[in-house]
Structure 1
């Protein structure tokens, strides 16, 4: 495991030599793994932009033991108070939910349907639907995901697109990511705004709202991959805006360490790069499993709805 400055130096070094490598960076940019692909062992498994669909063909148990609304409310109130004072425009509030399942981490990794999947030793598994950044043909792309609704609700697509709070939250994140990409790229623009992705889970189908932002990189970007990631992280969609103050609010309100949850992982293939935000995340702590989840809070957010969204996002995309 590498410490902060070594992470980004190593990415620059391997990128300059155009050596393909895997990378994994935690939420606060304090720890990470940067490993040339030819040195990877079977303790780290990943799939990038996966299209594979593999059914499990058996019944399995998956039970949630979330914190009570009474425990969640004071955390929400810390965030909401800061939003009302103007200290933040959007704050992502998360919390771990204890789960019980007869699936192993390896089975969750194998059978989950997600664009981005990672299993790190026996420590955690991630099945993320959200890209962080992709670099292709000297262009950088980001696809922030903000806004979730149960697809079984009548007229769900129109409801989520018309929701004033969700629209405001999404606009804030798109603006933040556009500003972030402008630190490392030129000609940054929003190329798709508020499109719908469908995500199937073990017990329902969810609709999620995303946008696409694109910019142009310099020809020597390979030499600066680490520098680019240092400037872009933490990912705006899972902290909020403005970043520095919002990170302080998150630390006060959450009261636990996210560690690699809401960090990023990805691969550089020697020419291009793709990466994911580590959401939809199950972590082992001694003999227990915890699913870390959350959502964006704005001044218009209602505590009960945000609490229910936190629980709704505790699922495995296995069916």
Structure 2
């Protein structure tokens, strides 16, 4: 496991040499892995934009045991007070939810359907729908995802797109990501604003709202891949704005360690980069499976609604 400086330094060196590599960076940029693909061990499995999934050959059980609303309220109130005092405009509050299932982490990795999947040494699995950044032929693109609703609700699409709180939350993150990309690229534009993705889970279908933001990198970007990620992390969509102060609020409010949850993982193929935000995340801790999930809190947020959204995001996309 590498430390911060060596993570980004090695990414720069391998990028300059056009050596394909896998990388993984935790939420606080304290630890990570950078491994040339030719040396990738068998116990690190990942999948990017897989079109097929393996079908579960058995019925599976999945139960969740979230914290109480009363316990969540304490964390929510702390965050909400910071928001009311203007210390943050948007704070992503997350929780750790114990779960039980008859599937192993390896089976969860195999059977879930998601844009991005990672099984790290059977310590944790991630099945993320959210792109972090893609670098293709000198252009960098980011796709922040903010806003979730149960697709079975009548007029769900119109409700989520017309919701004032959700619209404000999404606008804040798009502005933050646009500013982040401006630090490392030129001609930054919002190419597609608030489009809908459909996510099918084990018990329902969700609609999630995303945007696409793009910029032009300098010609020497291959030797600066690590530097680019260092400047962009942590991902704005899973902390909030302003980023530095909001991370301080998160560390004050959350009563557990995110570790690699809400970090990023990805691959450099020798010329292009694809990466994901590590959300939809299950970790094994002392023989107990823990599902980590959360959502963005604004000054207009209602505690019970945010609590329900946090629980709603505890699912496995197996169907």
Contact persistence 2:53–2:110 (CA under 8 A): no
Equivalent residue for 1:153? 153
Partner of 1:12: 12
In the alignment, which residue of structure 1 is the partner of 2:219?
A: 219
Q: Matched residues in 1 for 2:52 and 2:306: separation?
A: 32
Number of the residue aligned with 1:135: 135
TM-score normalised to structure 1 length? 0.99
Structure 1 residue 219 displacement after superposition: 1.3
- Does structure 1 residue 78 correspond to structure 2 residue 84? no
Q: Counterpart of 1:120?
A: 120
1:204 paired residue number: 204
- Whole-angstrom CA distance in 2 between matches of 1:252 and 1:270: 40
Instruction: Look up the SS of the partner of 1:168 in the other structure.
Output: helix
The alpha carbon displacement at 1:57 in A equals 4.0
Three-state SS of the structure 1 residue aligned to 2:282 is: strand
Q: What is residue 33 of structure 1 aligned with on the other side?
A: 33
Question: 1:185 is matched with which residue?
Answer: 185
Partner of 1:274: 274
CA distance in 2 between partners of 1:301 and 1:109 (Å) = 33
- Following the alignment from structure 1 to structure 2, what is the Cα–Cα distance between the partners of residues 269 and 220? 17
Please give the alpha-carbon distance, in whole angstroms, between the structure 2 residues aligned to 1:105 and 1:249. 31
Aligned counterpart, 2:164? 164
**1:198-252, CA deviations, whole angstroms, 9 ceiling, x for partnerless residues?**
0000000000000000000011100000000000000000000000100010000
C-alpha separation in 2, matches of 1:213 and 1:281: 25
CA contact (8 A) 2:267 2:274 kept: yes
Cα distance in 1 between the residues matched to 2:104 and 2:210: 31
**CA offset digits 1:99-134 (Å, max 9, x no partner):** 000000011000100000000002100000000000
After superposition, the CA RMSD in angstroms is 0.6
Q: 3-state SS of the aligned residue for 1:23?
A: strand
How do 1:41-60 and structure 2 match up within 5 A?
41-60=41-60
Give the ranges of 4+ consecutive aligned residues of structure 1 lying more than 2 Å apart after TM superposition: none
Deviations 1:62-88 (A, max 9, x none): 000000000100100000000000000
Q: Distance in 1 between matches of 2:295 and 2:6?
A: 31
* Pair 1:108 & 2:108 matched: yes
Number of residues paired by the alignment?
319
Please give the alpha-carbon distance, in whole angstroms, between the structure 2 residues aligned to 1:290 and 1:53: 23
- Partner residue, 2:68: 68
CA deviation vs aligned residue, 1:160-189 (integer Å, no higher than 9, x gap): 000000000000000000000000000000
**DSSP 3-state at the match of 2:184:** coil
Aligned twin of 2:244: 244
Which residue of the partner structure matches residue 255 of structure 1? 255
Match of residue 94 from structure 2: 94
Cα separation, 1, equivalents of 2:42 and 2:170: 38
